[in-house]
Amino acid sequence: MKGSGPSDILFGALKMRQPTAGKGPRVNVDTILLAHYSSVKSRSRVIEMGCAHGAISLILARRMPSAHFDAFDINPELIEMARENSHINFAADAVSFFVSDLREHRNNFSPESYDIVIMNPPYDEPGTSRPSPGAAMASAMHGDTCTLAEVVRCAKYLLRNGGKFFLVIRAKRMGELFNLLYTHNVKPKRFCMVHPKPDRAASVVLVESVRASGDGVTADPPMFIYGPNGEYTEPLLAAYKI
């Protein structure tokens, strides 16, 4: 996979090699917001599903170096890029990156082995939008290698009881997601709607769910990317800080 040279993210706190534009998933605002929303405690066992080039796991490992991080992706070229990024950022031992297919979770992982699962799942289900020409982009955008139901089933399998699942998804799929989470007993506990601007509908939603928890969900204050003056908001800028 052809990639770009290392570029700065988080105001230069990390440098990341990424696929060239249109050839695979790249760091965007969803990446940064999910890393910011994911609450990782000291000594937590954390796994990122579909980690691509490793940005989220490397951000979190920088913020909480005492936690244990694993991360996998179905695409070997993206895992190679993630490992290179770990070396670029002097974090070769911070995250274990490996190739795996989340649909084969029962063959590849032990059950209830993690405290936290994180994923930025594909935007759409297979066959619901125009396919991307490249395999890496098609997997990230159109769910060619997994459905949302498969994502939730894998997260439940990996999580211990009381463990947390963090993800970001298109706002229009929130109902579908919540139905799956309740069905698989990984119940949503809080969420944050993310709006491009105060006068625009939410584009994505950040969600924290907990395996085998009680009912009850909290709506966090909404986040706006841009304020009325067209500048980035303070909450958005805070997410870009280590």
pLDDT band at 23 (very low <50, low <70, confident <90, very high): confident
Strand partners, 159: 114
Cβ atoms within 10 Å of 77's Cβ, excluding its own: 17
- Which residues in 4-25 are b (16+ Cβ under 10 Å) and which e? eeeeebbeeebebbbbeeebbb
Q: Does domain 7-239 have CATH number 3.40.50.150?
A: yes
Q: Which amino acid is at 9?
A: I
What is the rounded CA–CA span in Å between residue 56 and residue 32? 7
Burial-class residue 235 by CB neighbours within 10 Å (0-12, 13-18, 19+).
middle
224 and 233 in contact (C-beta within 8 Å)?
yes
pLDDT tens track for 197-227: 999 999 999 999 999 999 999 999 999 999 9
How distant, in Å, are the alpha carbons of 111, 119, 232 from that of 114? 8, 14, 35
140 has pLDDT over 80: no
Report residue 18 as tokens.
């990424």
pLDDT tens track for 53-62: 999 999 999 9
> What does the mean pLDDT of the chain come to?
92
What is the rounded CA–CA span in Å between residue 213 and residue 203? 28
All residues at 6 or more sequence positions from 199 whose CB lies less than 8 Å from its CB, including other chains: none
3-state DSSP percent of the chain in helix, strand and coil, to 5: 30, 25, 40
pLDDT tens track for 61-118: 999 999 999 999 999 999 999 999 999 999 899 999 999 999 999 999 999 999 999 9
What is the rounded CA–CA span in Å between residue 205 and residue 121? 12
